[in-house]
Structure 1
Amino acid sequence: MFYRGKYVDGGDGREMGPKRQRILDQPTPFYGASAGSSFMYNDASSPYAYVGQPPFPVVRLRGLPFDCTEADVTEFFHGLDIVDILFVHKNGRFSGEAFVVLGYPIQVDFAIQRNRQNMGRRYIEVFRSKRQEYYKAIANEVSDARGGSPRQSARARSYDDAAKDSAQHTGVLRLRGLPFSAGKDDIMDFFKDFMLSEDSIHITLNMDGRPTGEAFVEFANPEDSKAAMVKDRMTLGSRYIELFPSSNEELDEAVSRGR
Structure 2
Amino acid sequence: MFYRGKYVDGGDGREMGPKRQRILNQPQSFYGASGSSSFMYNAAPPYAYVGPPPPFPVVRLRGLPFDCTEADVTEFFNGLEIVDVLFVHKNGRFSGEAFVVLGYPLQVDFAIQKNRQNMGRRYIEVFRSKRQEYYKAIASEVSDARGGSPRRSTRARSYDDGNDSAEHTGVLRLRGLPFSAGKDDIVEFFKDFMLSEDSIHITLNMDGRPTGEAFVEFPSAEDSKAAMVKDRMTLGSRYIELFPSSHEELDEAVSRGR
Q: TM-score range, shorter-chain basis? A: 0.7 to 0.9
Cα deviation for residue 23 of structure 1 reads 4.8
Cα deviation for residue 244 of structure 1 reads 1.3
List gaps (5 residues or longer) in structure 2.
none
Deviation string for 1:180-205 (max 9, x for gaps)?
A: 11111211121222222222111111
Cα gap change, 1:97 to 1:22, in 2 (>3 Å): farther
Cα gap change, 1:153 to 1:248, in 2 (>3 Å): closer
Query: In the aligned structure 2, how far is the partner of 1:17 from the partner of 1:46?
Result: 22
Deviation string for 1:41-98 (max 9, x for gaps)?
A: 58x999996358x532110011222232222211110000001111111122221111
Query: In the aligned structure 2, how far is the partner of 1:2 from the partner of 1:151?
Result: 39
Partners of 2:19 and 2:181 within 8 A in 1: no
Query: In the aligned structure 2, how far is the partner of 1:108 from the partner of 1:153?
Result: 28
Provide the secondary structure at the position in 2 that maps to 1:166: coil
Query: In the aligned structure 2, how far is the partner of 1:156 from the partner of 1:137?
Result: 22
Query: In the aligned structure 2, how far is the partner of 1:219 from the partner of 1:2?
Result: 44
Query: In the aligned structure 2, how far is the partner of 1:188 from the partner of 1:3?
Result: 34
Partners of 2:187 and 2:195 within 8 A in 1: yes
Cα gap change, 1:3 to 1:196, in 2 (>3 Å): farther
Which region of structure 1 is more displaced relative to structure 2, 134-143 or 149-158? 149-158
Partners of 2:4 and 2:45 within 8 A in 1: no
Give the TM-score of the pair, scaled to structure 2.
Answer: 0.80
Partners of 1:205 and 1:258 within 8 A in 2: yes
Cα gap change, 1:70 to 1:49, in 2 (>3 Å): farther
Partners of 1:173 and 1:247 within 8 A in 2: yes
Deviation string for 1:148-188 (max 9, x for gaps)?
A: 55425999989948x43332221111100000111112111
Cα deviation for residue 14 of structure 1 reads 10
The 5-angstrom pairing of residues 112-151 of structure 1 reads: 112-147=112-147, 149-151=149-151
Cα deviation for residue 224 of structure 1 reads 1.9
List gaps (5 residues or longer) in structure 1.
none
RMSD of aligned residue pairs (Cα, Å): 4.9
Percent identical = 91
Cα deviation for residue 147 of structure 1 reads 3.4
Cα gap change, 1:204 to 1:192, in 2 (>3 Å): same
Give the TM-score of the pair, scaled to structure 1.
Answer: 0.79
Partners of 1:4 and 1:25 within 8 A in 2: no
Partners of 1:34 and 1:181 within 8 A in 2: no
Cα gap change, 1:213 to 1:34, in 2 (>3 Å): farther
Provide the secondary structure at the position in 2 that maps to 1:34: coil
Cα deviation for residue 8 of structure 1 reads 3.7
Provide the secondary structure at the position in 1 that maps to 2:101: strand
Provide the secondary structure at the position in 2 that maps to 1:23: helix
Cα deviation for residue 240 of structure 1 reads 0.7
Cα gap change, 1:158 to 1:178, in 2 (>3 Å): closer
Partners of 1:22 and 1:238 within 8 A in 2: no
Partners of 2:203 and 2:211 within 8 A in 1: yes
Query: In the aligned structure 1, how far is the partner of 2:28 from the partner of 2:121?
Result: 46
Cα gap change, 1:203 to 1:112, in 2 (>3 Å): same
Cα deviation for residue 10 of structure 1 reads 3.0
Partners of 2:13 and 2:56 within 8 A in 1: no
